[in-house]
Amino acid sequence: MEKVGPENKTSANGRKREVIEIKVSSHPKMMRVLRAVSEEIGNLAGLNDEQVVHLQIAIDEAATNIIRHGYKFDSAKDFKLIFNLMDDRLEVLLEDNASPFHPKSSDFLSSVEPTGGGLGVTLIHRAVDEVDYCVTRSGSNQLRLVKYLTGKEVRNREGIVETGK
């Protein structure tokens, strides 16, 4: 796992305090490391205990989807996580270079299979406040997860006032 950062930046969507980037190889063994990192960064961002567990679940399931569906267990591949710590929220970007997918596609919302297919995406949506997917200019898949800090009321991209789950 390669760690880059933290850096200090600002953004229009709330003041950005810190940015932490890590690169992880696409091997299921790395999930334990990722869970530990998610917990530490969730605590650093100011999430409460329950929110940290929810963050871990969302990141875990998203990373699992990249390893299983995106890279099909090819451990030679890797993916990137960018944690944007802001005053009112924690934004996590997961970027991979697998074939493009949409997390709401029928493939991902298929019935619950022995390996958890479909259920993982449902858990992601329930665990965080916002989930977006896009393809970046460089052609990478980018999944954006947002967890608001409890008690903070902010307007999301659609202008709707939200507070942390």
Partner 1 sequence: MKVSLRQVNDGISVIDLEGDFDLYSSPKAREILLKLAKEKAPAVVVNLSKVGYMDSSGIATLIEALRALGKYGGKLILAGVNLKTMEVIKLARLEKIFDIKENEEQALASTKSQTQQV
Question: Could you list the residues that contact partner 1 (CB under 8 A)?
Answer: 28-29, 31-32, 35, 50, 53-54, 56-57, 60-61, 64, 67-68, 112-117, 119-120, 122-123, 126-127
Cβ nearer to partner 1, comparing 9 with 104: 104
Nearest-approach distance from CB 52 to partner 1, in angstroms: 10
Chain center to CA of 63? 8
Residue of 131, 129, 89, 92 whose CA lies nearest to 109:
131
Tokens 């960018």 sit on residue: 82
Residue 28 DSSP class: G
Closer CB to partner 1, 44 or 123, in the complex: 123
Q: Which is nearer to partner 1, 14 or 78 (CB)?
A: 78
Min dist. Cβ of residue 92 to partner 1 (A):
17
23's tokens: 């690169």
**What is the C-alpha separation between 26 and 111, in angstroms, rounded?**
25
In the complex with partner 1, the residue whose CB is nearer, 34 or 149, is 34
Q: How far is the CB of 75 from partner 1 (least distance, A)?
A: 12
Q: Which is nearer to partner 1, 58 or 90 (CB)?
A: 58
For 127-142, the DSSP string reads HSSEEEEEE-TTS-EE
| Among candidate residues 58, 47, 67, 33, the one with its CA nearest the CA of residue 164 | 47
25 near 77, Cβ under 8 Å?
Answer: yes
| Whole-angstrom distance, CA of residue 88 vs CA of residue 149 | 6
Least Å distance, CB 30 to partner 1, is 10
Beta carbon of residue 29, minimum distance to partner 1 (angstroms, whole number): 6
